[in-house]
């Protein structure tokens, strides 16, 4: 039996009355069937409240806006990752995984109703300015974020390139709010970069999981594998990687696994329950791997880290990850509206749910930049050296005339500056987590030789 309006409601404006009993989940307006008394009573209460506001509120109300706000509240209260989106917000969502957009470069979420930074995207204005994972955004351009929807916050932080936006955050350990005046810029879509830390040992930085991330990953891997006679060890850096597309996380995990499950997703409906498996690849990648994670590693990053950890394919190093263990789907609605909602939780191969727990590293190492200690000059340092002797031979390959004129030094400086536009192995060596990972890989190689492997 289809839902019938009570007698007192017959005099309502027809469009308003119709809107009250329509739901937008399927993209077309369909009458809601009152399956039980509880649903009927709730719908009746909703219609009574709307009628009262339309009749007696101090100002004239927009019934459509009220209904949209009600839907927004209904969906938004399910969990932090579900939301009802107007057309402009739905369009912006498409830009997150394809195309270019201008913004400040942070991934945000609603954590207990508070706008929280998941992580800044490397190379973006937010990253360069020093915004950190876990920062709580309390103002955007002097506008309080209290009660602000996630898509509204995203919309306010995006905008024309080079235009400034003021972000105010609260950070743990800081007594006063911090302000960041950020100049919007194009958000880089390249998600993979690489470097050789020392002969035979490669480094891969994955900043997010976009449409072409697995292709970029394979390209960088092939370059690293061809250098120095192959890889003896690899560091995969997923720190401050907020995630992205599920299929990319699965494909990247499959690059290093030949069998077994990668991740399973389990929902209330059978169609939303699935197991994704690994398959033998064309290339054998048997070298040891260390994966770096931190509190900004979320979602797809945690899928990769969890899969490699459970299969004992990689050692996980760093600090616990963010803990986003749910899967969302995006569904278009009528007139350009959309809805994003959670359909399942995901589990690692060993059946672990990381929701609100995160991936725990095998070896916990805090982030630190290693400062070079100044060495005090000893009496021996002040003594005369071979190079100080008159007419002493210069090291091979250095032209004395160029050395005196300073041309050699200038040339080296130019080379250094150019190399740092990509990834600087020297700078990575000052990163305590990267250094520890490299030491582990080198040690593994030494012990393997000792054991005759």
Active site residues: 299, 310, 324
Phi, psi of 274, deg, nearest 5? -160, 150
Q: d(Cα 349, Cα 276) in Å, to the nearest integer? A: 10
Report CA torsion sign: 142, 145, 147, 148. positive
Q: CA-CA distances (angstroms) from residue 165 to 35, 71, 88, 401, 447?
A: 49, 30, 20, 53, 53
Cβ atoms of 244 and 298 within 8 Å: the answer is no
Helix axes 150-157, 87-95, angle to 10 degrees: 70
Report CA torsion sign: 144, 150, 155, 161. positive
Structure tokens at 268: 């209330």
Report CA torsion sign: 158, 135, 204, 274. negative
Compute the C-alpha angle 319/324/326, nearest 5°: 155
What number of CA atoms fall less than 13 Å from residue 171's CA on the CB side?
Answer: 15
Buried b (16+ CB within 10 A) or exposed e, 52-84: eebeeeeeeeebeebbbeebbeebbeeebbbbb
Cβ atoms of 114 and 134 within 8 Å: the answer is no
Q: d(Cα 151, Cα 108) in Å, to the nearest integer? A: 10
Compute the C-alpha angle 224/228/234, nearest 5°: 45
DSSP per position, 301-360:
HHHHHHHHHHTTSSEEEES------EEEEEEE-GGG-EEEEEEEEEE-TT--B-TTT-PP
Q: d(Cα 251, Cα 305) in Å, to the nearest integer? A: 13
Compute the C-alpha angle 81/84/89, nearest 5°: 95
Q: d(Cα 66, Cα 55) in Å, to the nearest integer? A: 14
Report the candidate in 287, 299, 306 with the shortest Cα–Cα distance to residue 203.
Answer: 287
Structure tokens at 171: 């950070």
Radius of gyration of the chain (CA): 28
């Amino acid at each position: 039996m289809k839902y019938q309006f009570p007698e007192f409601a017959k005099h309502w404006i027809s469009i308003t009355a119709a809107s009250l009993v329509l739901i937008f989940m399927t993209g077309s307006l369909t009458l809601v069937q009152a399956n039980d008394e509880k649903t009927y009573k709730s719908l009746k209460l909703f219609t009574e409240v709307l009628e009262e506001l339309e009749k007696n509120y101090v100002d004239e109300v927009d019934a459509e806006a009220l209904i949209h706000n009600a839907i927004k509240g209904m969906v938004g209260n399910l969990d932090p990752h579900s939301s009802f989106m107007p057309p402009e917000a739905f369009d912006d969502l498409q830009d997150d995984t394809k195309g270019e957009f201008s913004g400040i470069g942070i991934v945000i979420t609603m954590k207990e109703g508070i706008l929280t930074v998941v992580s800044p995207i490397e190379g973006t204005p937010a990253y360069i300015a020093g915004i950190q994972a876990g920062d709580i955004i309390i103002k955007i351009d002097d506008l309080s974020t209290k009660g602000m929807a996630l898509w509204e916050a995203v919309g306010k932080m995006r905008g024309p390139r080079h235009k400034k936006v003021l972000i105010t955050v609260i950070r743990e350990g800081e007594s006063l709010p911090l302000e960041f005046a950020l100049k919007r810029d194009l958000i880089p879509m390249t998600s993979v970069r690489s470097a050789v830390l020392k002969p035979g040992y490669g480094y891969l930085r994955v900043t997010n999981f976009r449409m072409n991330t697995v292709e970029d990953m394979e390209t960088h891997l092939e370059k690293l594998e061809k250098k120095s006679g192959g890889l003896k060890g690899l560091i995969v850096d997923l720190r401050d990687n907020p995630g992205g597309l599920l299929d990319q996380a699965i494909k990247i995990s499959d690059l290093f696994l030949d069998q077994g499950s990668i991740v399973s997703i389990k929902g209330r409906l059978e169609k939303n329950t699935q197991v994704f498996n690994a398959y033998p690849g064309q290339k054998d990648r048997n070298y040891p791997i260390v994966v770096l994670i931190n509190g900004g590693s979320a979602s797809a990053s945690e899928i990769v880290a969890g899969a490699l950890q459970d299969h004992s394919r990689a050692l996980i190093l760093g600090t616990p990850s963010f803990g986003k263990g749910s899967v969302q789907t995006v569904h278009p609605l009528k007139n350009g509206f959309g809805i994003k909602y959670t359909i399942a939780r995901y589990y690692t191969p060993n059946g672990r749910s990381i929701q609100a727990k995160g991936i725990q590293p095998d070896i916990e190492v805090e982030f630190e930049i290693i400062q070079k200690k100044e060495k005090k000059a000893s009496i021996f340092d002040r003594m005369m050296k071979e190079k100080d002797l008159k007419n002493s031979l210069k090291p091979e390959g250095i032209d004395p005339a160029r050395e005196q004129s300073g041309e050699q030094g200038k040339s080296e400086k130019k080379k250094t500056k150019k190399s740092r536009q990509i990834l600087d192995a020297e700078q990575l060596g000052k990163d305590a987590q990267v250094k520890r990972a490299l030491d582990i890989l080198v040690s593994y190689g030494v012990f393997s030789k000792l054991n005759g492997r």
